Amino acid sequence: MKTRSKSEIVNEIERCGVVAIIRVQDPTAVRGVVDALAEGGLRALEVTMTVPRAIELIGEIAPTLPGDFLLGAGTVVDADTAHRAAGAGAQFIVSPVFRTEVIDAAHEDGIPVLPGCFTPTEIPSAWDAGADVVKVFPATSVGPSYLKDIRGPLPHVKLMPTGGVSIDNIGDWLRAGAVAVGIGSALLDAKAISTRQYSVIADSARRVVHNVRAAREGR
C-alpha cells in the first residue's frame, strides 16, 4: 500500500463508496475474506478490534496489499489502540463512539478518523472536533430518511451510515447523501466464511460494487 495524506484517504473512501467491515471470530479466516473482497472489487476494508489478534493481523496484511487498497482499523475506542493500529499499518481509524482522544491520536499519526455518532448534537460536535467523516451509528433503526434530514442543516458534514446497510439498500443511503457506507454482516456471510466458501463473499462484493455504481449513475 502506498502512503497517502489524510485528504487523499478520505477522497478514496468517498470514491469507493463502501467500507467493508471485517468482524469475524476466526482470525485465520481474515486473509481469505480480504482476498475475496478484493476479487469482488472492493478496495476499502476495515478490520475491527473484536477480531482476535486484530492489530497483529493488520500488521501482517497491510504490507501485502496492492497500492490502491485502503486498510483501516475499526471498533477503536481509545488513543492507545488507535496509535497501535496506525503503527501496524492501518490507514484510517473507525470508532463506534465519539471520543476526542481517538480523533487526536489518529491525527497525530497522520491518518483520518471516522467516529461513531447518532444524534444531531453528536454529529456536528464530532465534526468540529476534527472528524474526517462521521460514522452514523447505529443506523439500523432510522433508515436513509434520517440521513437526509441530518444533511438538511448540516450539508458540509461527511456522513457514513453503518448498521442497517444491506447490499440491496446501499443505493438508498447514497442517494440520501452518504459519502460512503459501512457494511459488515450483510456482506460477510458467516456460513460461507466458516466453510471457507470465499467465492460467496466475492460474489456479494461484486453486487455491492454494482449497486454503488448504479446509484451514482442514477439507475
- Catalytic residue, chosen from 12, 101, 135, 191, is 135
CA distance linking residue 93 with residue 71, whole number of Å: 9
CA distance linking residue 116 with residue 135, whole number of Å: 5
Q: What values do phi and psi take at 114, rounded to 5?
A: -125, 90
CA distance linking residue 26 with residue 33, whole number of Å: 11
146: Cβ contacts below 8 Å, ≥ 6 apart: 136, 139
Amino acid (one-letter) located at 184? G
CA atoms within 13 A on the CB side of 30: 27
- Catalytic residue, chosen from 2, 6, 39, 46, is 46
CA distance linking residue 74 with residue 51, whole number of Å: 10
135 counts as catalytic: yes
Q: SS3 for 7?
A: helix
Q: SS3 for 116?
A: strand
Angle between helices 30-39 and 198-216 (to 10 degrees): 40
CA distance linking residue 165 with residue 29, whole number of Å: 23
56 counts as catalytic: no
CA distance linking residue 190 with residue 168, whole number of Å: 18
Q: Enumerate the active-site residues.
A: 46, 135
